[in-house]
């Protein structure tokens, strides 16, 4: 496994050491976990951006969407355990 060196200000290094100790981890494990979490979040954000762009493009192409009122009613019914059909999209823009 390759090694990566990062430079940290003394106060940040101390804060990391203290936070790691509270979490029952080494500073190395704490930093590695923080990097994994940050990368995972960045990947998730990128995927959500891709999905949103795809869906926005589809909306612009069709002009169809489910109204907020219809979606609210649908979600309320689902939360109450009712079997309901997903609301139909309707033309919103031409």
CA distances from 27 to 16, 32, 36 (A): 6, 8, 14
SS3 assignment, position 51: helix
Q: What is the pTM of this model?
A: 0.73
CA dist., res. 25 & res. 19, Å (int): 9
pLDDT tens digits for the chain (94 residues)?
A: 899 999 999 999 999 999 999 999 999 999 999 999 999 999 999 999 999 999 999 999 999 999 999 999 999 999 999 999 999 999 987 6
How many other C-beta atoms lie within 10 A of the C-beta of residue 19? Answer: 14
């Amino acid at each position: 496994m390759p090694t990566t060196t990062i430079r940290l200000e003394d106060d940040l290094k101390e804060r990391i050491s203290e936070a790691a100790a509270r979490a029952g981890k080494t500073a190395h494990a704490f930093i590695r976990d923080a990097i994994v979490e940050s990368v995972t979040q960045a990947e998730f954000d990128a995927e959500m951006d891709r999905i949103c762009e795809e869906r926005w493009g589809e909306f612009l192409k069709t002009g169809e969407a489910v109204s907020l009122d219809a979606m609210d009613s649908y979600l309320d019914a689902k939360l109450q355990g009712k079997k309901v059909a997903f609301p139909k999209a309707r033309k919103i823009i031409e």
